[in-house]
Amino acid sequence: MRAPARRPRVRSAALAAASALLLGLAAAPTAGAAADGHHRPATLHELAREHGRYFGSAVDNPELTDTAYADLLGREFGTTTPGNGMKWYATEPQRGDFDFTAGDEIVDYARAHHLKVRGHTLLWHSQLPDWLTSGTWTAAELRAILRNHITQVVKHYRGKVFAWDVANEIMNEDGTYRENIFYTTLGPGYIADALRWARAADPTVKLYLNDYNVDGLGAKSDAYYALIKRLKADRVPIDGFGLQGHLALQYGFPAGVEENLRRFAGLGLDVAFTELDIRMILPADATKLAEQADWYGRITEACLAVRRCVGITLWGYSDRHSWIPAVFPEEGAALPWDEELRHKPAYDAIRSALSGG
Ligand code: XIL
């Protein structure tokens, strides 16, 4: 499949600045002027901010001890997402016994580096604590557990995260609801309930649904479109739709990404790439790295083309720390920086897309 020709784009700096302000993104030093007065290239986040967007990277707690990695992340990006630190197993390891140590560590790191934090995630079928998955719960019990979890976690991070992935991966590939513990015990109404409880606990944080394989048009993203339309009609609080963006070269570039972003934006939502990485079958070679670069550029351009696409988060920025090799054997090299923290062609492609093609 060939990449469509890239269109040059002209943007209003004033509009971009205004929406950056609305996003509440932290002020960073002016591009090109380092603290010592010497010229340095603008960071990806600084370039994104010119368009009123953010550019972020996830970080997992153990990675914070890799100071070269953590420092570069803190300089280059404007937002971060805890890779694991705010998941249910981490935040409520025993019933009613909350532990915010890992999440707080990320929030403290983010504050020290002037990064905003995306909260991830209040509800997911994976990485749940044993007490929750091994228990047998009546609907009333599980409802109370879910409500308390969302309330406590959202209250704790009020003012510290700008968005929450309220529900993660709640659909199957064919667009039916995933039969997670919440669905099977509570029925599909748990999604609206979760959103309402999150809103009650923090009236201003942006509330997202988030999933993979919804970057382009298809049965799964159709199902989200129908669901969110219904939620909106029912006045359920929802602010955004997160496209994880876990792509793989061997499956082809998703069809209709920009059109997909646009239709969700048309529902009055923000959209964002929340966990972008583009893996390949190893070993990497120049051809694959060039194709990966092209894909990173196209995702960036698709986001810039849709006003309500507020930003892009990489799921880690370097092949040094990536979840891919552990989960997809024989695959990897998914990120724009290599294991030595050197730029790959993908970095240049993102940069060029952010600089106007
Ligand atoms: C991954 C983490 O990066 C890993 O460290 C962990 O072992 C498993 O989860 N979709 C999501 C993320 O929403 O939470 C997942 O993160 C990657 C897939």
For residue 14, give every residue at least 6 positions away whose Cβ sits within 8 Å of its Cβ, in sequence order, or none. Answer: none
Active-site annotation holds for 275: yes
The reply to whether 24 falls in a domain is no
The reply to whether 23 falls in a domain is no
Contact 281, 331 (CB under 8 A): yes
- Token reading at 301: 């351009």
d(CA 78, CA 116): 6
- Token reading at 293: 């670069």
φ, ψ for residue 113, nearest 5 deg? -110, 10
Average pLDDT (108-117) is 98
The reply to whether 33 falls in a domain is no
Q: In this predicted model, what pLDDT tens digit does every residue of 192-222 receive, in sequence order?
A: 999 999 999 999 999 999 999 999 999 999 9
pLDDT band (50, 70, 90) for residue 39 = confident
Tell me the whole-structure pTM to 2 decimals.
0.92
Q: In this predicted model, what pLDDT tens digit does every residue of 299-323 receive, in sequence order?
A: 999 999 999 999 999 999 999 999 9
Distance from Cα 316 to the centre of ligand 1, integer Å: 11
The reply to whether 22 falls in a domain is no
Active-site annotation holds for 63: no
Instruction: Please pick, among 46, 63, 169, 301, the residue that the annotation labels catalytic.
Output: 169
The reply to whether 37 falls in a domain is no
Nearest to 168 by CA among 317, 332, 315, 319: 315
Measured from the Cα of 60, ligand 1's closest atom is 5
Q: In this predicted model, what pLDDT tens digit does every residue of 50-108 receive, in sequence order?
A: 999 999 999 999 999 999 999 999 999 999 999 999 999 999 999 999 999 999 999 99
For 168-229, the DSSP string reads ES-B-TTSSBP--HHHHHH-TTHHHHHHHHHHHH-SSSEEEEEESS-SSSSHHHHHHHHHHH
Is any atom of ligand 1 closer than 6 Å to the C-beta of 211?
no
For 140-157, the DSSP string reads HHHHHHHHHHHHHHHHHT
Is any atom of ligand 1 closer than 6 Å to the C-beta of 89?
no
Does the pLDDT value for residue 10 go beyond 50?
A: no
The reply to whether 27 falls in a domain is no
Measured from the Cα of 169, ligand 1's closest atom is 13
Average pLDDT (330-351) is 98
Is any atom of ligand 1 closer than 6 Å to the C-beta of 275?
yes
The reply to whether 2 falls in a domain is no
Give me the number of domains the chain comprises. Answer: 1
Question: What is residue 37's predicted lDDT score, i.e. its pLDDT?
Answer: 61
Q: What is the 3-state secondary structure (H, E, C) of 218-279?
A: CHHHHHHHHHHHHHHHCCCCCCEEEECCEEEHHHCCCCCHHHHHHHHHCCCCEEEEEEEEEE
Range of the domain at 286: 8-15+42-354
79's enclosing H/E stretch is strand 79-82
pLDDT band (50, 70, 90) for residue 15 = very low
d(CA 168, CA 128): 12
For residue 101, give every residue at least 6 positions away whose Cβ sits within 8 Å of its Cβ, in sequence order, or none. Answer: none
The reply to whether 230 falls in a domain is yes
d(CA 127, CA 64): 21
Say what angle helices 190-201 and 219-233 make with each other, to 10 degrees.
60
Distance from Cα 127 to the centre of ligand 1, integer Å: 9
Contact 106, 82 (CB under 8 A): yes
Is any atom of ligand 1 closer than 6 Å to the C-beta of 91?
no
What's the CATH code of the domain at 162? Answer: 3.20.20.80
Average pLDDT (173-190) is 98
